[in-house]
Amino acid sequence: MSFITEIFKRSTMKEITSYLLYGESFEGEDNADYHTRLKRACQRLEDTLSIYDSDKESVLHNAVNQFMGETERVYMEIGVKAGFLLAKEIFDEISDREHLIRFEEMCANMSSDISKAVKE
C-alpha cells in the first residue's frame, strides 16, 4: 500500500480529532454513530454515579451535568472556530474564479451535510 493511501486511511474524523485533542491516534474500531456513542458514554456515567449517589437531583449529579454541558459548549466553540479558520485558509489559497466557484459549491454541500447530521 502506498504512503498516500495510508494517509487517507488514517484521515478519519476520529483520527484527526484524537490527534488534535490528545496528540495521539484513536484506538479502537467503534464505528457507531454520534448518538449511540454519546448514549453509551452517558449510561456508563450514570451507572458509575449511581454507585456513589442514587439521587439524580443531588449536588453530585448536578455538578457532573453542568460540567458536561460546559464542556460541550467549549468544544463546540472550538470546533466552529477551527472550521472557520480552515475554511479561511483554503479560501485565501484560492487564486482564480473557477476554484472559487468549486469552493463555494463544496461549502454549500458541507453546510447541507452538517445540517442533516445535526438534525439526526
Rounded Cα distance, 111 and 4, in Å: 28
Mean pLDDT, residues 22-32 taken together: 68
Rounded-to-integer distance, Cα 40 and Cα 34, Å: 10
Task: Compute the half-sphere exposure of residue 93: CA atoms within 13 Å on the CB side of its CA.
Answer: 7
Q: Is the pLDDT of residue 120 over 70?
A: no
Given a cut of 70, whether residue 10 has pLDDT beyond it is no
pTM above 0.85, yes or no: no
C-alpha grid cell, residue 119 = 438534525
Three-class DSSP category at 90: helix
What whole-number percentage of the chain has pLDDT above 90?
Answer: 24
14: confidence class by pLDDT, cuts 50, 70, 90: confident
Determine the pLDDT at residue 58. 92
The confidence score (pLDDT) of residue 11 equals: 66
In sign, the C-alpha dihedral spanning 77, 79, 85, 91 is negative
User: Sorting pLDDT into bands at 50, 70 and 90, what band is 97?
Assistant: low
Mean pLDDT of all residues in the chain?
Answer: 80
Q: Give the residue extent of every domain in the chain.
A: 1-29, 32-119
* pLDDT, tens digit, 9 for 90 and up, residues 28-67: 666 778 788 889 999 999 999 999 998 989 999 999 999 9
